[in-house]
Structure 1
Amino acid sequence: MLHIILFLTLSLLFSPPAKATVQDFCVADLTAPETPSGYHCKDPKKVTANDFAYSGLGVAGNTSNIISASVSPAFVSQFPALNGLGLSGLRLDLAPGGVIPLHTHPGANEMLVVLHGKLTVGFISSASNVPYVKSIKKGDTFVFPQGLLHFQLNDHKTHALALAFFNSPFPGLQILDFALFANNLASALVEKTTFLDDAQVKKLKAALGGTN
């Protein structure tokens, strides 16, 4: 009996393991429909090293606009190799006086790294409305917790450049100013809910493209 048990034990120890299939990556096939869990995978036989490289963050954005700033995303639709990896990023270019207005990312935390210039950044806590504001320079990093109102402002005389990274492929975005004044929500309702007067609301709607 003992020799049978020993034989079975040795057989288990030295038998080849069952082959497990591990999916190392799922480069998005942007020609296929997007699903709730992401894009379908590109045929692995057609994937090359080029799929895992992206140069879009090396291109300066156009800051000739109302906020004197530009956001260049690196999401799945721009960088298909991010599909299924649970992360994304973007580039921020801010001319002197440029601002990314108060906004939220409902689906992700954000980590900002300054590559050039200086920025004043901050967020507002939801529990007690405490503002956390700091001036950061080249090489500094700042984090914005998920869902909290936050901003980036270049209040210096030189161009500023930063990269931001998110722990989600879909961080989401809602800019407070545009949510309030770039739609057709009745001005009277905006005035009642923001305590702003009629002239100010209509001025902001005209500037940001809102109506009604």
Structure 2
Amino acid sequence: MKNAAAPIPLGLKLLFTAFLAVMVPVYWVNYGPTNFLYFCDVALLLCLISIWTGHRLPASMAAVGILLPQVLWCTDFVGELLGGRLLGMTSYMFDPNRSLFLRGLSFFHGWLPFLLLFLVKRLGYDRRALPAWTLLAWGLCLVAYFWLPAAGTIMPDPKIPVNINYVFGFDDARPQTWLPAPLYLVGWLLTLLVVIYLPTHWALRRWPAPKLADVSDEVVMSWVGDRGRSIRAKSA
């Protein structure tokens, strides 16, 4: 659904598009095309669609899917920065074999949640986002599980991602061993839905909706004014 009542500022459109115009080719060259199957990268592309079309469903899908994981990413990064280790999902940010520029691009994880909240507030939240994102995310996980490199795979270029979307566990160096791999995958898919997507969906349903009253009043007053002028013209 498109909401023309609250247009996205042109400056934001251009700035976000410029970021992706730099990030996408840099990531493609350094990480390969499979990197764009990560939830966060898919969310960026969904944001781009909403920003330029005004359709709220893509931004709503991205918000449901990655708001909580991005908070976890930021927490893990701060932990690594302070010398601790939570999940290790941001260890690559401290890899000296990756340029500072390449690592710096990944700081989008920090500002993307704020952009998504802005878009949802501006465009409104589409409740279809929960089933739409869930099906998309589960599809991405199945692709990663059956066709992409598993955790522990030695790649010719160590920057090429393995264990995309953590379908083999949270350690990219080795698969988890405490559950059979298919059982872990099913449990992971259900965990994503119950622990991440559903709570975010419920919260976003209560997020302040865009104000449409002002636009409606403006349309009504315009119609009344035109009607009044027409009546006076006929009377004259």
Q: TM-score, normalised by structure 2?
A: 0.20
Which has the bigger relative contact order, CA under 8 A and spacing at least 6?
Answer: 2
Comparing both structures, which one devotes a greater share of its residues to helix? 2
Comparing both structures, which one devotes a greater share of its residues to strand? 1
Q: TM-score, normalised by structure 1?
A: 0.22
